[in-house]
Structure 1
Amino acid sequence: MASTEMQGGPLYPTSEVSALVGCEDAERELVSRLLDSTEENLSVISLVSEEAVGKTALARHVYKRLDIRQHFQCRLWVHVREEFAYKDLLLIILKQIPIRLLKDIELMSEKELRQLVFQTLMKFRFLMVLDDVCTEDMWFKLLRPFADATNGSRVILTTRHFNVASEADPWSCPLNLRQLTEEESWVLFLKNAGSRRSPENSSDLNNFREEILGICLGLPPAILLLGGLLSTIELSDWSRVIDRSQFGEDKSALLNIVALMSYNELPSALKPCFLYLALFPKAYEIPKRRLLQLWLAEGFVQLSPDEASVPIEDKAKIYLEELVSRNMIEIATRKSDGSPKTCRMPCFLYGFFLPKAEEEGFLHVHHCRSECTYADSEIFKVQRLADQFGVSKSHMGNLCAYISFKAEKQGTSNSEIGTLLKKIIKGRDRVLLKVLDLEGVYKPQLPKKLGELRNLKYLGLRWTGLDSCPASIGDLPCLETIDLKYTSITTLPSSIWKAKKLRHLYMNEVSIQKPSRVVSSTNQLQTLMGLFIGSKDPKDCGLGKFTSLRKLELTCHSESMEETAKCISQLGNLLNLRLRSRDPFGQPLYLVLSPMKDHQSLSKLYLFGVVADDDIGYLPRNLKILTLSMSKLEEDPMPALGKLPQLNILRLFSDSYLGSEMTCHRGHFPKLSVLKVWNLKELKQWTVEEDAMPQLLELEIRRCEKLESSDGLEQLPALKELILTNMPQEFVANVRQGLGRDILLTNTWEFSPLFACKFSSAPIF
């Protein structure tokens, strides 16, 4: 395939290509020192190398291991950016500690934050990762209060500077990571470049072995980039790329040259999508949802004439897949089904492409400048907004996008956003502004004339704590995405449906006034999350008219449940449904499932509410992911659920089943890979018959406190991970004894509630 063409490739893989080849000994040593029970004092283990050899990748891999998660009661990851102040790092740490909701921590003084961090963190055996530490003073400030800790807490520190590593803990020998050997380098390369090759031509790759090893010099990032690049082009074109890469052994320039080569070989449509990630701070985990919709709002994703029937959101996902397969974007976290949840630009690329993007005029990122004053010119005020709120401005010269990254209360200074928006509305930039993403900015003041931003496509107000939204929001003719998730907004005017191009609407149980007439936007709506119907007729909200809906979340009462189910049955494109039936006090009410039994496209279903035992058989047949919560089933649901032929993930949450016995029958659940059983308070006996759940990889049982025995777990042939949380010790001992083979068994106990919210005024969901 020519390098200028896009290839769809496979969907997101379930695991990334390993960047840990050659680090096996270092991993064993690191894990051994982390779990060393003979060393109770706090110790710092430094991963050090001047070159990019996978320090962060190794730390992240170990950080996520189940045995590490089991051993440490609290884990914290801090990427130490040079521009961070000490207070910034304290806030990052506090938001990761499993403590009850803290109010207004952003308004605390540095001294108060330091004391709070010490008082709370000392209650836990913790693991803290300090990633990419450049200077000694910052880690010294962070760790000095814990010098006397004697509960086995540990710190992993990654750095390029040997002096930082030697000073961090004089009694702990740093782990010096090395470059890969030629054999290790080739193994890693084949895992990348060979991933898209058929077996019959994979041997041809060996013809290029010597040249490729000479280019990459044992550096994993260079191997990953070059492998990702060559995997997308025909073997006949490899020589052209490799010949351009003969630039000697200057390791400091190696990564930059390979990175630039990878960028230059990108299809033109992917170049702005990739550079756009430089808008976000280094190591920032970008929600996939946010990134894809920003790409769409910026106009980076276009459909060809023969793709007219393809949802443009699917094309954006293909763009992301392609960049991931080229190792130019890395997946940070994943959902339970293996699909990406957050992503980021690899750190070794960020330092090169941020200045390149600014140099090309694609974007300009403003940093704190003490000389900025509010009385300066308009463009200087734009800079000051960036100083205050971590905002980046894309497309330098034309004000096209503002994106916020901070989530701190800034007091009355947030009114400056309102002032700036008013100036934009009065000036020429009102025609150019396409993206206004204030996610995390606490209660920004939005002007009443917001509707005059005529070309605005994306309005992001997630986690802002806003109580209301201007009625003029419906006057935005180009608006495609509105994100009001995790705000205090409870109602929206019917004028919202005047936004004729609206495709994605995110809310938290928001009522929308009945539209005076059905407008064309309802036919384009793809996502409708957080609609509150209550006891109203769902047709009053136009629910049956949203024929293009693919993702729907709504809350209703029993009185409106049957009509709601009938409307849902008419949404033939619906893939993902979250349906709640509850009273005003949050108590579950009855769900009606029978109208949805023949739904063909629905593959992911979350149900909160009481389900009659006779109705469990009405679940759509093509479900792949099913979650039941508060269903209060009295008869064993497993015989019916086990007959769903495509079911891959099943989650039985609190009070979904009230009985004492549960059986998974022979031949049932043929494709189930993940099963979570939580808070089934009356369950005493669980039997798994032979040949049931043959593909089950992960099983989690949590807070089933009466469960005495489980027969047949040892017969699950594919089981790799068994996670037990707050389970009776006798049950744990019986399971451990009965397994009799190499299954990773993790037994943990929960501590206080782990809820943490960015703003105390925003609801927790």
Structure 2
Amino acid sequence: MDIAVGAVSGMVDALPGKLGELLQQEYALLSGVRGDVTFFQAELSTMHAAVLRSEALDDPDVQTKNWIGQVRELAYDIEDWVDLFAHRVDAGSHDADPATSSRFSRWIRRGIDRLTTIPDRHFIATELQELRQRVVEVSEQRKRYSLGPQVIPAGSRHTAALDPRIISLYTDSASLVGLDGPRGEVAEMLTGAGSDRLKVVSIVGMAGSGKTTLAREVSGLVGAGFKCRASVSAGRSSDIAKVLTDMLSQVDSGYRRRGDTADLTQLIGRLREHFKDKRYLVMIDDLWSIQIWGTIKCCFPENNLGSRIITTTRIEAVAKDGGHVYRTHLLEEADAETLFSRITFGSVGGCPPHLKGVSAQILRKCGGLPLAIVSVGAMLANKTHTKDEFGRYGLEWQANSQLEVMKQVIKLSYSDLPAHLKACLLYLSIFPENHEIEITRLVRRWIAEGFISEHRGTSTEEIARNCINDLIGRNLIQPTQLNHDVTPRSCALHPVIHEFIVCKAMEDNFVALVHAEQQDVPPGNRTVRRLSLLNSGKSDQVVAQIDGTKVSRARSITVFAHTCGTPRLNELSVLRVLDLEGCEGPLCLDGLCKLLLLRYLNLKGTDISQLPAQIGDLKCLETLDVRTTKVKELPLSILSLENLTHLLTGNAKLPTGISKMKSVLTLSCSNVGKSATVNIIQEIGEMASLRELELFCDVTQMPGDKKQVVFQCGGLRSLTKLSIRCSSPSVAFVAGALPKVEVLELKFEKGPSKESSGVSGIEHLSSLKHMPIEFSQHVAGAAAAVAAVRNVAEIAHPNCQVITVNVDQ
């Protein structure tokens, strides 16, 4: 199914509930507005049902695609209207405390507010009428053209998409590359030393990684020892009865000739009867569901004859349910070059000299994925191209119909995702190819965009991280760095997956990807909802001018490398995400404080030196990151950000009164011990909600053995993770301090001075589970300091899961 449905159904599903919440607010709705909102609720619920029916289609017609596109744009605009409503027209009743003000005074206040907001109310009512008219038109259009599930007329010719596994089943073994090692490993897993009990080996990996080919090769290698063999393909839309019928016909030659028909229970019974006294080898290719695999497993009795089953799947959970797991690997550079050269030029080393450079670029884009190398190589084979033509055909895949089989293979993984995961995956198209994406950055952006819905008892951040794990488990994204607890710290997309989702996201207007040198920016006439500006980082580059009218409804702006070409903020009234992390060049924040819906503001690593004094007007802001900037002090108004959850200030000085911020869960700050008037640790210790704290400290100014950083009893009682960055160890924990801290990260530049005793009081951290220690300089005393802390921790906390010690050379 095209992404037009998958990416929008979740949003359309959530809108009726959001409209219902609006009706329950105390805002004084204009006459007729309440009825319009109720109308939207009912109509969008009906649209959602139609969207879900369309989602079941594998190849929707043009009319259905266009209708879904209109629903998507309409849903965006309605949600924008709902989110802006409370900010533009607030009757003011929330400002007065009902317990201390009379009914008459509240009535007078509401009357005054109604009078002063008449222009805004009139404008909102006009907007609402326009939206209602669009809803009616979209609804009538569906009825007028009978949009819905397509029916293919009887007798019409319909060509099914080519299954690439067919090709792999008939590939000459002698032509395979890089398979010797994996073939031997899987064969050893199947036939190695062990009992005669039934064994299942599952081969798992990303789409196109050669799972079917490997399974076929292993089956052929070990098959001589099995007199009863079968090979079947399950597939995503699996007809289990057909799969079992195919299996039975292969092991019982008379089954087809008799013309028997049987239901699922009878098929399972017949297969169990046939296998009960035989040593069998069965290959089940392309499993997508634990439930389907659970049904198929019922066919295989445990007969203690050394029977074996090989399965292939793209999904880790399915593989783990089978037993022994083998994960496929991408081809090494030499093997990839051999395969590409053999397919494209007919022989190893056959690449003409003038094409070597561009061939290397093509191979990098294929990323060692056998399917991509074979598909692109076959397309380029036996064709005479200039260097430019060879590069254009080999690197520009989006509109290339000759690569359709490869695209369909990748699309199967995308199509199997639930709606919310489709949106989460498409969102990664914002980042450049081969970009390493920090997990916390991605999670907070997803939440700010509204992709993650909170469930009772589970935080949105936890749900978002589960989505990350799900996408990793489906082999759609790859973890690149791991935390101390083996959870992913960062992730990346394989170049082929990245190419696919970029194509899909652009096709559906999910993201507009703009390069600075483009002339028409953004291209086409579509309204931009998410803009990714991919600059080169060169200050002298020719910068395309962003059309303000096209990006005025943008929900997120992400800029890479350089700030040139960044749209003016006063044109972005519905912006939720502004991410300029790591950008060089001048940055203008004029209009920032008018972005009433802004939830995520990332200025990390930019040249910004000052935040607007009115930043406290951004009432929706959830994440603020100004680490490694020139900002020296945060404005006092930041204390009024009631929804701020993640405050990452780096070296910027916190204002007095930071303990008043009750919603902050994550804090990154410094200036510990530098202020004579404010004890930062003592003040942040009063932040009852704080869960994670990162402190940047300079301990070189303190004479003698006095500890620069001391954690007393009673503060930070909800803190579960503490990270301390110091020039040298000078940290103490007193008895009763930090009772819930499970993770303590200590990063020092050098070892302790002669006067300092390093880190003390580790034994007082009663909940400690993980303690990574790092020194950036290998100096005298570092190893001894590490040993001392480690010895105390191991004695005091014998149940510690991990204690990682790292002294950099």
TM-score by length of 1: 0.49
**Highest CA radius of gyration, 1 or 2?**
2
Q: TM-score, normalised by structure 2?
A: 0.46
Higher strand share: 1
The structure showing larger relative contact order (alpha-carbon pairs under 8 Å, at least 6 residues apart) is 1
